[in-house]
Structure 1
Amino acid sequence: MTIATPAEVLMRGPQLGTMLSMILYGITCIQTFMYFQNYPDDRRRVKATVSISAVSITGLYRLTDACQVIVVWILETAHAGAAISFMDYYLIVNFSNTEVLLSVYWAMPVAFMIGFLLAFVVNTFYAWRIWLFSKNVYHAAVLMMLAFVRLGLSLTVCVYSVIYSQSWSNFRHHSGKTIIALFVLAVVDDTLTATVLAYYLHTRRSGLKRTDRLINRLLLYSVGIGALSAAGDVVETIAYFALPNSLDFLGIVLVQMKLYANSFLICLNIRNFQAGPLNDPLSYNSTIVTSSVPKFTPDGSIECGAKDVSSGNNPLSTLIEQ
């Protein structure tokens, strides 16, 4: 029987996670490009949110149009670059150096810090949208509180990895309880966010055929990606306990971090997929309202020839356009 090397035990998970995260990074870049191409009339503050998907919420509305694409490229590439950097350091520069493999390289906590900020911004974005959508302060406040507590635990883990960087075992020993609390809170946060969003989308069905189809798609993606993120949290927890001598759980975290930006961009880009192929008349309770082809206008209303359904009656204008 072949004995596994330290590199296999420690770095196989992060290596596979980095490779898969690069694929998701490419999808994120494509989605960002599609967004700016397809929705040039969207409000500046929504575009700014896209551009700072991994920056603190305090800068949410302060970016100019010229900086948007540059910022998203810098931040997303920084996360990808940090992941590539620590894999290169462990597996290439220090090939077969067991002493180095057992320590924490600075690029690893940097990569995870960026990813945790990304999750924070996306979750607070959803909390803000849910408040606009429902005007339910309690639900939005709970989600916002969970996002802030989760961010605090995440950054605490990153700080532990710097303080106890001499060895992975030392890091796990001192940060174990914080990591477990973080995983449990992540499951609750991701599940609750997807559930509340799905609930309010479902309750705001208007009977408009075209709008309800878009709501159905948003329901599918929000519940699906929310469930996928929550499942990732559960798998991370299992891997952390089942494989105490490996870093496989970090590889799963690397992949999961890329899901947040993609779920956020899907929420915005799905409008174009719905608007394009539909040529059927807009109907209400199976009754034809107008013979002209409906379309979403830049101001958030639905234009239907002689009749116009204002954005106030369109639940998606609240969820996406504001």
Structure 2
Amino acid sequence: MPSIDTSTALIAPVSVTHDNTYGAAFIGTVVSAILFGVVCAQTYTYLNRYPLDRPFYKILVGVLWVLELVHSILVSHASYFYAITNWGNSLVLLFPPIWSLCVQVILGAIAGAIVKICFAMRVWRFSNGNRLVTGVIIVLALAQLVVACIYATRTLQLESVVVVSRLKVVGSLSLSLGTATDIVTAFALCFFLHGLRTGYSKDDSLVNRLTLYAVNTGILTSAVSVATMILYNLMPDNFIFMALYFVLSKLYANSFLATLNTRRVLRGRGTDAETNTVPTFLMVGKLTKHDNQFQDHVYPPSASRVPQTKEDMLRSQLEVEIEQEVTVTRDSHFEHHDFKNVSFA
């Protein structure tokens, strides 16, 4: 799109200035680029720290990195168009938005949805397969993705950037769904983690740390989403809310990569994808519905230490749940069944 002749009689609204349009876009682009650098660093760390991780996780990390790379390119393209190509020309805001500014919304929503669904799987594991709560989180994540795509499509059809306020309802709904997803996920993790308390100070300390991490992750993304929604409703005719949205998907990607990279390594290995291996959760027996006896076919007969009480069982279950979440390690050596080998994050 060529530069617009400034000799035209049309003028932009008085509230639109270089600071809250070009300046805001520039700041958002810079912060987004910095966070993408963190994404790259975390991706590199992950690939080096967990070379034997499951292919699914590697593909997922690769997809997120590509999405964030393209998202950064689109954000930079939109910022360059408004801040450089049309520098000092406020009349460009009276024309339809540049395509890259709209498409980046879709890519950011896709990356956010992927991360939210992955966090929903964490809830699934810690809740022992609670379909209701997990389903609610997944539905909310997918709903936000759909609404965000609708918003981006309608934005492309606008005759001017400064009339983006017409889409307040759709935009606010998308951001609200994202905030709701983060809050429900954090609350669910806190609730189900609390149920894993055993009374042992070491185990409960781990639960507290995981709970704090879940809350902090949800608070950060929720705060940015709420701030974006507030600014969008108060000042829809400038780029301040867009600047915040530029960094939102990077926060989701970094939170997911941080979750992968903070897993403890069991005996120097990550989540192995070796053949002929047995998941470590099969190393711990389960209580039957009628008594405190363990199912013999679950716990290997060669194990050197079998929990005998309900308290021991609860502690073992906590260790396995945390190990599945933090290391998800497969172990082919059944002779190592002592619980001291279970690692914690």
TM-score using structure 1 length: 0.77
Which whole-Å CA distance do the structure 1 matches of 2:79 and 2:256 have between them? Answer: 28
C-alpha change, 1:27 and 1:187, in structure 2 (3 Å) is same
SS in 1 for 2:87: coil
Which whole-Å CA distance do the structure 2 matches of 1:29 and 1:213 have between them? Answer: 31
Q: Indicate the residue corresponding to 2:180 in structure 1.
A: 188
| One-letter identity of the residue aligned with 2:41 | I
- 83, 107, 123: which is aligned to 1:114? 107
Which whole-Å CA distance do the structure 1 matches of 2:221 and 2:179 have between them? Answer: 8
Over the aligned positions, Cα root-mean-square deviation in angstroms equals: 3.0
Q: Indicate the residue corresponding to 1:58 in structure 2.
A: none
Which whole-Å CA distance do the structure 1 matches of 2:114 and 2:57 have between them? Answer: 13
Show the 5 A alignment for 1:135-174.
Answer: 135-164=129-158, 166-173=159-166
2:59 equivalent to 1:28:
no
The 10-residue stretch of structure 1 (155-164 or 192-201) with the greater mean CA deviation from structure 2: 192-201
1:123 Cα offset (Å) = 0.6
2:323 equivalent to 1:317:
yes
- 96, 119, 129: which is aligned to 1:126? 119
1:118 Cα offset (Å) = 0.5
1:154 Cα offset (Å) = 0.6
Show the 5 A alignment for 1:67-86.
Answer: 72=65, 74-86=66-78
Provide Cα deviations, 1:2-56, integer angstroms capped at 9, x if missing partner. x887332323222211111111111111111111111112211122222222xxx
SS in 2 for 1:271: coil
Q: Indicate the residue corresponding to 2:30 in structure 1.
A: 19
Which whole-Å CA distance do the structure 2 matches of 1:209 and 1:38 have between them? Answer: 29
Unaligned runs of 5+ in 2: 1-13, 273-278, 284-303, 307-314, 330-345
Unaligned runs of 5+ in 1: 54-71, 277-293
| One-letter identity of the residue aligned with 1:242 | L
Q: Indicate the residue corresponding to 2:48 in structure 1.
A: 37
Which whole-Å CA distance do the structure 1 matches of 2:171 and 2:22 have between them? Answer: 19
Show the 5 A alignment for 1:227-306.
Answer: 227-272=219-264, 298=271, 301=280
C-alpha change, 1:247 and 1:210, in structure 2 (3 Å) is same
Paired positions, count:
279
C-alpha change, 1:311 and 1:36, in structure 2 (3 Å) is farther
C-alpha change, 1:201 and 1:93, in structure 2 (3 Å) is same
Percent of pairs with identical residues:
29
Which whole-Å CA distance do the structure 1 matches of 2:123 and 2:59 have between them? Answer: 19
Which whole-Å CA distance do the structure 1 matches of 2:250 and 2:27 have between them? Answer: 14
Contact preservation (8 Å) 2:28, 2:247: yes
Higher helix share: 1
Contact preservation (8 Å) 1:127, 1:143: yes
SS in 2 for 1:246: coil
Contact preservation (8 Å) 1:301, 1:310: no
TM-score using structure 2 length: 0.72
C-alpha change, 1:138 and 1:122, in structure 2 (3 Å) is same
Which whole-Å CA distance do the structure 2 matches of 1:222 and 1:204 have between them? Answer: 15
Contact preservation (8 Å) 1:52, 1:75: yes
Which whole-Å CA distance do the structure 2 matches of 1:75 and 1:237 have between them? Answer: 23
Which whole-Å CA distance do the structure 1 matches of 2:238 and 2:34 have between them? Answer: 24
Which whole-Å CA distance do the structure 1 matches of 2:322 and 2:188 have between them? Answer: 15
1:169 Cα offset (Å) = 3.0
